[in-house]
Amino acid sequence: MQTWTQTLSARARENWRDAFASAAAACIAWVVSFRLFGHTTPLFAAITAIICLAPALPSRGQQAVGLLIGVATGIVVGELALLLPPMEPLLRMGLATFVALLIASLFGLAPVVPIQAGISTVLLLSFGAEKAGVARMQDVVVGASVGLMFSQVLMTPNPVRLIDVAAKSLLQRLSKGFAQAEAAISDRDRAKAEAATTLFTEAQSSLINLNSGINRARSLVRWTLRGRFVALQVREMAALYDRRAIRLYASALLFAESLEEALRTSSAPPPDGLRDRVAHVARLAAALAKDLDAARNDTFEASLPVAVPHGWEPCLDNLHAAEAALAALIAIRDR
């Protein structure tokens, strides 16, 4: 169980780069807008850069594009609202804001689009077209451009590495679980079997990270230049791990639980060869995490007796499922 200090420390490590990039981009956008357009206080340029790069955004490229679309929609609607016949200013603002939000929502894009459309309309009708119209659009273009430069080029993570690191973490943790299970079989120790089950259960966090890494990599492929360069590799890796990783994890966990049950209820000793096969699976998972060639060239086989002692059948079935899942990963990665 993490303490609050560990939680805060982990969040700081996760987000400090994005926070630094946002701050740096805001300063750069301010300077660019001042130099390019002569805006003495280009607040919207700096604000836009921050909105595009703030920590925890799922897609910074999508955020930047959506922001541009939203601001442009709001400014156009606000300009058109100024052409309406004279009316109560508050009524004009309410009507124009409603139209801007409605139009922006029709695009079916991220929430930032209607939000920025509504804000732009309110600002334009409040401060006038000179301050909140073209000038704001110029600042937003600068801020979004700087944000895109950071997100697309300077700070884009490697999509392939996102998947690879998460997959290796899962395989390494599963390898430790199988190694613990081997010790449980060797000593016929239920406590060690329970420890193996715990290790497999804790590996679920790595499985979740792998799924998150796959989703993040797919988003980067769609919304970043760096992602497009490795799109084919990302698709192949995502297809490799998307379901097979779940199958491998599930079979490993079921194996550990059935091993516990067999040690608890069966008076018969573990089948001959079971310990060697479990050790092989542990070694194979570790090899696959480090070196595909080592995993591919591992041809070890441990035979099992034809007659399996009573109570050990589920354990062997689940182990076979784990072996099959690992073999499928190796075969597909070897293509």
According to the model, what pLDDT value does residue 136 have? 80
d(CA 115, CA 74): 9
According to the model, what pLDDT value does residue 131 have? 67
Q: Give tens-digit pLDDT for 206-246.
A: 999 999 889 888 888 887 777 888 888 888 888 888 888 99
pLDDT at 88 over 80: yes
213 vs 61 pLDDT, higher one: 213
Q: Give tens-digit pLDDT for 251-261.
A: 999 999 999 99
According to the model, what pLDDT value does residue 129 have? 67
> What integer is the mean pLDDT of 66-78?
90
- Token digits of residue 138: 């110029």
225 vs 299 pLDDT, higher one: 225
- Sequence-distant (6+) residues with CB within 8 A of 114 are 70, 100, 101, 104, 105
Using only C-alpha atoms, the chain has a radius of gyration, in whole angstroms, of: 28
According to the model, what pLDDT value does residue 56 have? 75
pLDDT at 291 over 70: no
CA angle at 186 for the pair 185 and 189, rounded to the nearest 5°: 60
Cβ contact 256:181 at 8 Å: yes
Q: Give tens-digit pLDDT for 173-190.
A: 999 999 999 999 999 999
Cβ contact 268:168 at 8 Å: no
Residue-averaged pLDDT of the chain = 86
According to the model, what pLDDT value does residue 296 have? 57
pLDDT at 302 over 70: no
Q: Give tens-digit pLDDT for 125-168.
A: 888 766 667 788 888 899 989 988 887 777 777 888 889 889 99
41 vs 32 pLDDT, higher one: 32
pLDDT at 277 over 60: yes
Residue 243: helix, strand or coil by DSSP? coil
Q: Which of 305, 281, 315, 306 is nearest to 295 (CA)?
A: 281
Q: Give tens-digit pLDDT for 160-170.
A: 888 988 999 99
pLDDT at 64 over 60: yes
